[in-house]
Amino acid sequence: MLTSFTAWLRFISKVDTVGTSLMRLAIAIVFLWIGALKFVPYEADSITPFVANSPFMSFFYEHPEEYKAHLTHEGELNAGKRLWQTGNNTYGFSTGLGFVEILIGLLVLSNSISRRTGLLGGALAFGTPLVTLSFLITTPEAWVGALGDAQHGFPYLSGAGRLVLKDVLMLASSLPVMADSARQLLRERSA
């Protein structure tokens, strides 16, 4: 029994060699999928509070201070609110962001073809969550609102806040992906 447990430990101790490739694939899947969704109005609408409240991004919107009156729920079609979102540049910004996110996903995947572009993709995958995590500070909708329950505000994350917090994983996983690309680049240079 002890030898089988030891054998299992030896096997597990080597899975990190596959782990970096799986992290690279996972990062790419997230960026490609979420990037593609940025072309769909419901996804563009859902990022409105984050963009409107961000000191780094709110300038992309025409009327960021008016967003609360024009929010929709996923799956909701409200022609008037959609018209406002169009005039606000919500969809234009989201489309641009979608292109950037898809590009990041492709760059991360390109590592086997080009270590440099793979490294760039890893660096962008690292930088993106830094911006996203700032939404926890700038976006009131990231926290449970004071609607009568005693559990509201910090540390009670809303659904939007929980979604943002998951970017800590993206931040952490992009580091070994970048390190792997850098190691491979160094090996190529020394060869």
What local confidence, expressed as pLDDT, does residue 70 receive? Answer: 96
Provide the residue ranges of all domains of the chain, joining segments of one domain with +.
21-190
Instruction: Specify whether the CB–CB gap between 106 and 179 falls below 8 A.
Output: no
Helices (H), the chain: 2-12, 16-37, 41-46, 48-53, 79-88, 90-109, 115-138, 159-165, 167-190
**pLDDT per residue as tens digits for the range 15-67:** 887 889 999 999 999 999 999 999 999 999 999 999 999 999 999 999 999 99
Instruction: Specify whether the CB–CB gap between 67 and 88 falls below 8 A.
Output: yes
Packing angle, helices 115-138 and 167-190, rounded to 10 = 160
Whether pLDDT at 82 is above 90 = yes
State whether residue 147 is helix, strand or coil: coil
